[in-house]
């Protein structure tokens, strides 16, 4: 089996299921890119696409679970958190008629027991908001990512990494990314790093945020740049999770 850690992957994830995801979907199709859209059944903060729209999007892209109500899981009792996690999976599988293997933590929040609940629910992996990471995780229910398409300040980047215990990401932010705060430049650095060293360039964003900040031109330029990169394997999150599980299972056997 090929060592995945030496392969160059690029993956994209889009959170929250806002109807503006269809504008993102059009851009992804234009540049021939894969992506995973993480969609909750409900969201108290903003609109979520209708079930018919979810089905339509699922015809072209992977749909991942994002809980039932898009509430942070960190402070919930395990029983409530598990119902949010498993209920979101059940809703999508009933709606789409196929397995849902990928999970994303609402607002990136979790505690020490949450990854085990996601495994118990039957997912292959879970994406966090641990930034500045391009390597494969030791725990497949704690996948990091390289870049959020939002220009966080240097102080926010450092504070977020420290609060989340993401010390590898903190070191990478200072050494690999040289403290870069512009998200577009940051992701180009991630692509260069993965091109040279292998790993995963993972861009995540919210379509609603791209729209509100008027960043569609920058997003399109970034997607165009990804499409021009040679030697990268374009995958959904779920495909990446499945390949990593297969390699881990092979190593154990």
Which CATH number goes with the domain that contains 148?
A: 3.20.20.370
* Predicted pLDDT at 92: 98
**pLDDT tens sequence across 188-200:** 999 999 999 999 9
Domain that holds residue 214: 4-252
* Predicted pLDDT at 253: 78
- pTM of structure: 0.97
b (16+ CB within 10 A) / e for 157-178: bbebbeebebeebbebbeebbe
For the chain, what is the domain count?
1
**pLDDT tens sequence across 7-30:** 999 999 999 999 999 999 999 999
CA dist 15 and 186 (Å) reads 19
Residue 5 pLDDT grade (very low, low, confident, very high; cuts 50, 70, 90):
confident
**pLDDT tens sequence across 127-181:** 999 999 999 999 999 999 999 999 999 999 999 999 999 999 999 999 999 999 9
């Amino acid at each position: 089996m090929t060592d995945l850690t030496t392969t160059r992957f690029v993956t994209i994830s889009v959170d929250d299921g806002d109807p503006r995801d269809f504008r993102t979907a059009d851009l992804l199709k234009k540049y021939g890119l894969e992506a995973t859209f993480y969609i909750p059944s409900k969201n108290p903060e903003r609109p979520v696409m209708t079930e018919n729209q979810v089905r339509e999007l699922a015809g072209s892209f992977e749909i991942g679970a994002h809980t039932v109500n898009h509430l942070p899981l960190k402070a919930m009792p395990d029983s409530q958190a598990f119902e949010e996690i498993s209920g979101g999976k059940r809703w999508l599988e009933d709606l789409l008629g196929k397995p849902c293997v990928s999970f994303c933590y609402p607002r990136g929040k979790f505690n020490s027991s949450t990854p085990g609940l996601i495994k118990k629910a039957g997912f292959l992996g879970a994406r966090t908001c641990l930034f500045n990471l391009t390597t494969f995780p030791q725990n497949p229910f704690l996948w990091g990512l390289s870049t959020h398409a939002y220009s966080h300040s240097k102080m926010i980047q450092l504070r977020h990494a420290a609060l989340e215990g993401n010390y590898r990401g903190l070191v990478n932010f200072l050494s690999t990314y040289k403290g870069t705060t512009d998200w577009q430049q940051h992701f180009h650095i991630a692509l260069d790093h993965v091109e040279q060293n292998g790993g995963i360039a993972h861009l995540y964003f919210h379509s609603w945020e791209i729209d509100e900040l008027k960043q569609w031109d920058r997003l399109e330029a970034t997607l165009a740049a990804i499409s021009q990169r040679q030697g990268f394997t374009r995958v959904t999150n779920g495909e990446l999770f499945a390949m990593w599980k297969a390699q881990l299972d092979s190593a154990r056997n």
